[in-house]
């Protein structure tokens, strides 16, 4: 579903991702862990096409992202950001935000589909459609962001710290929702988090990053059995 080879990203001379590669199979949930500045979010944003200068190859569902038009790519891969307070348009009502990607892509019946999507993320009924983001709680806003990401029925969902701005009680609800959606819709996830417990709960495989480079890739079973080769990974687990 996702193939990244020899990816290098630099921001005017400062290297953010160095010689990184990873492969995510269809239907899999893959985690990226590491401290701030380790390049995990940059990697995700580059896959989404949000970074200009990079080298290497990235293929999403067999499509080379350099050669694929923006709109077509958006139907395959979508992203959910960390902070639902800043990733929603403050002056659009919820229904509009969710319908926007469908309007841009000229899909039929955006209104009906919007209602279905909101229902899917647990914000059903007419009462939510006409609310503004500031009238919702953090957890509800993150649900809206998820509904919007699903609007074009993508196969791959990139989740950048999807719950770290939320209370632990709300985090549990969102993680359950994401797992349910993955099962029901057959989605593939790439999740960035600094919380190893969340990654271990959500992902079958994970990659630890540090200083713009991958440190090691583990399966969930290896993580849980403590079969870890790298000292840095051990430090992360001890601190979690």
88 closest CA partner among 154, 135, 37: 135
- Note whether 86 binds another protein by CB under 8 A: no
Which listed range, 35-43, 68-76, 119-127, 151-159, lies at the site for another protein (CB under 8 A)?
A: 35-43
58/178 with CB nearer another protein: 178
Q: Which stretch binds another protein (CB under 8 A): 1-9, 41-49, 95-103, 197-205?
A: 197-205
Tokens of 205: 């495989």
Q: Phi and psi of 191, rounded to 5°?
A: -115, 125
The single residue among 6, 11, 35, 89 that binds another protein, judged by CB under 8 A, is 35
Question: Beta strand pairing status for 188-193 and 156-160?
Answer: parallel
Contact (Cβ atoms closer than 8 angstroms) between residue 193 and residue 31: yes
32-191-53 Cα angle (round to 5): 70
Residue 2 as a binder of another protein (CB under 8 A): the answer is no
Task: Tell me if 12 contacts another protein by CB under 8 A.
Answer: no
Q: In what order do the strands lie in the sheet with 156-160?
A: 77-80, 156-160, 188-193, 29-33, 205-210, 213-219
- Asked if residue 201 binds another protein (CB under 8 A), the reply is yes
**Per rule CB under 8 A, is residue 200 in the interface with another protein?**
yes
Shortest reach from residue 155's CB to another protein, in Å:
23
In the complex, minimum distance from the CB of residue 131 to another protein, in angstroms, rounded to a whole number: 16
Binding mask 151-170 for another protein (x = CB under 8 A): ----------------xxxx
Site for another protein contains 173 (CB under 8 A): yes
Report how many residues bind another protein under the rule CB under 8 A: 31
Residue 220 near residue 203 (C-beta atoms within 8 A): yes
The structure tokens listed for 34 are 């590491």
User: Least distance to another protein from the beta carbon of 24, Å?
Assistant: 19
C-alpha distances out from residue 1 to 47, 106, 221, Å: 12, 25, 22
Read off φ and ψ for residue 143, nearest 5 degrees: -65, -40
Q: Which of 113, 141, 155, 194 lies at the binding interface for another protein (CB under 8 A)?
A: 194
41 is a contact residue toward another protein (CB under 8 A):
no
Instruction: Give contact residues for another protein (rule: CB under 8 A).
Output: 35-37, 137-138, 167-173, 175-176, 179-180, 194-198, 200-202, 223-224, 235-237, 239-240
């Amino acid at each position: 579903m996702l193939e990244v080879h020899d990816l290098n990203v630099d921001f005017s001379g400062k290297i953010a991702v160095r010689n990184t590669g990873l492969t995510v199979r269809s239907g899999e949930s893959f985690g990226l862990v590491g401290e701030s500045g380790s390049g995990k979010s940059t990697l995700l944003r580059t896959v989404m096409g949000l970074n200009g200068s990079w080298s290497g190859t990235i293929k999403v569902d067999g499509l080379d992202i350099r050669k694929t038009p923006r709109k077509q790519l958006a139907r395959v891969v979508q992203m959910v950001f960390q902070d639902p307070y800043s990733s929603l348009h403050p002056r659009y009502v919820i229904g509009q935000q969710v319908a926007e990607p469908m309007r841009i892509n000229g899909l039929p019946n955006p209104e009906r589909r919007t209602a279905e999507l909101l229902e899917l993320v647990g914000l059903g009924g007419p009462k939510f459609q006409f609310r503004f983001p500031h009238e919702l709680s953090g957890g509800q806003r993150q649900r809206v962001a998820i509904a919007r990401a699903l609007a074009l029925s993508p196969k791959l969902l990139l989740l950048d710290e999807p719950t770290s701005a939320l209370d632990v009680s709300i985090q549990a609800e969102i993680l359950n929702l994401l797992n349910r959606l993955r099962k029901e819709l057959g989605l593939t996830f790439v999740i960035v988090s600094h919380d190893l417990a969340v990654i271990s709960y959500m992902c079958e495989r994970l990659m630890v990053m540090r200083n713009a480079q991958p440190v090691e890739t583990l399966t969930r079973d290896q993580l849980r059995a403590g079969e870890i080769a790298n000292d840095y990974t051990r430090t992360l687990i001890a601190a979690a």
